[in-house]
A and B are shown apart, each in its own frame.
Chain A
Amino acid sequence: MLRNRVLLPLVGVLVVAAIWQVTLVAYRLPVIVLPPPLAVVETLGELLVTASFWRDVGVSLYEFTAGYLLGGLSGIVVGMLIGESRNFRLTAAPVIESFRFVVPFAWIPLTILWFGTSYTGKILLVAYAVFFVMVVSTARSIVQVEPTLSRVGTMLGMGRLALALNVHLHAAAPAIASAARAAAAIGWIAVVAAEYIGASAGLGVMITNAASSLATATVIAGMVVIGIVGALVSVSIKWLSRAYFDYR
Chain B
Amino acid sequence: MRRAILTTASTADTSRTVAPGARGLSPRALAWILGGAGMLGTIVLWSLLSHALAGGGGVISRLPGPLLVARNLAKYVTHDFARDLASSLEVFAAGWLGGVVFATFIGLLLGRVQWLGNIFLPVVEAIRPVSSIAWVPLSIVWFGFGFTSKAFLVGLAVFLVVIVYAIDGCSRIPADLARTATMLGMNGWQRFRSLVLPGTLVEVLTGARVSLMSGWGTVIVAELIAANSGLGAHLIAVQQSYDVAAVVATMICFGLSGFAMNAIFTRVENRLLPWRQVERSVISDE
A-side interface residues toward B, CB under 8 Å?
4, 8-9, 11-13, 15-16, 32-33, 82-87, 89-99, 101-110, 112-115, 120, 135-136, 139-140, 143-145, 147, 150-151, 154, 160, 163, 185, 188-189, 192-193, 196-197, 207-208, 210-211, 214, 216, 219-220, 222-224, 226-228, 230-231, 234
Contact = CB atoms under 8 A, between A and B. Distances in A.
Interface in B90-142: 115, 118-123, 126-127, 129-131, 133-138, 140-142
Given A105-B217, A150-B15, A110 B255 contact: no
Interface string B56-76: 000111100000000000000
B38 A94 contact: yes
A113 B31 contact: no
B284 A192 contact: no
A103 B253 CA distance: 11
A85 B283 CA distance: 11
Contacts of B13: 86, 143
Interface stretch (B168-176, B192-200, B219-227): B219-227
A227 B119 contact: no
A61 B11 CA distance: 42
A210 B140 CA distance: 12
B216 interface: yes
B89 interface: no
A91 B38 contact: yes
Nearest to B260: A101
B41 to A, nearest CB: 8
A189 B224 contact: no
A77 to B, nearest CB: 14
Contacts of A16: 123
A135 to B, nearest CB: 7
A94 B40 CA distance: 10
Contact of B255 (A89, A106, A144): A106
Given A87-B20, A114-B59, A230-B129, A93 B255 contact: no
- Per DSSP, chain A at the interface is helix
Contacts of A188: 131
A154 to B, nearest CB: 8
Contact of B12 (A33, A108, A150): A150
Given A8-B119, A12-B120, A151-B15, A231 B129 contact: yes
B239 A112 contact: yes
18 contacts: A12-B121, A86-B13, A87-B20, A91-B38, A94-B284, A96-B283, A101-B259, A105-B217, A106-B250, A108-B224, A110-B248, A113-B62, A114-B59, A139-B282, A150-B12, A192-B133, A208-B225, A220-B138
Given A13-B126, A87-B21, 18 more contacts: A11-B119, A12-B123, A83-B282, A97-B281, A98-B255, A102-B255, A103-B216, A103-B220, A109-B236, A114-B59, A135-B283, A189-B131, A189-B134, A196-B221, A208-B137, A210-B137, A230-B130, A231-B129
A223 B138 contact: yes
Interface centre among B16, B35, B119, B250 (most CB of A within 10 A): B16
A99 B15 CA distance: 31
Pairs of residues from A and B, 3 with the lowest C-beta to C-beta distance, nearest first: A211-B137, A9-B122, A227-B130
A211 B196 CA distance: 43
Contacts of A33: 141-142
A13 B17 CA distance: 56
A188 B221 CA distance: 15
A223 B262 CA distance: 30
Contacts of B216: 103
A92 B262 contact: no
A207 B235 contact: no
A229 B176 CA distance: 42
B247 A109 contact: yes
A223 B135 contact: yes
B87 to A, nearest CB: 16
B5 interface: yes
A103 B213 contact: yes
A196 to B, nearest CB: 6
A223 B130 CA distance: 7
Given A193-B133, A220-B138, A97 B284 contact: yes
Which of B19, B38, B244, B262 has the most A CB atoms < 10 Å from its CB? B38
Contacts of B31: 90, 93
B34 A87 contact: yes
B137 A219 contact: yes
Interface in B134-174: 134-138, 140-142
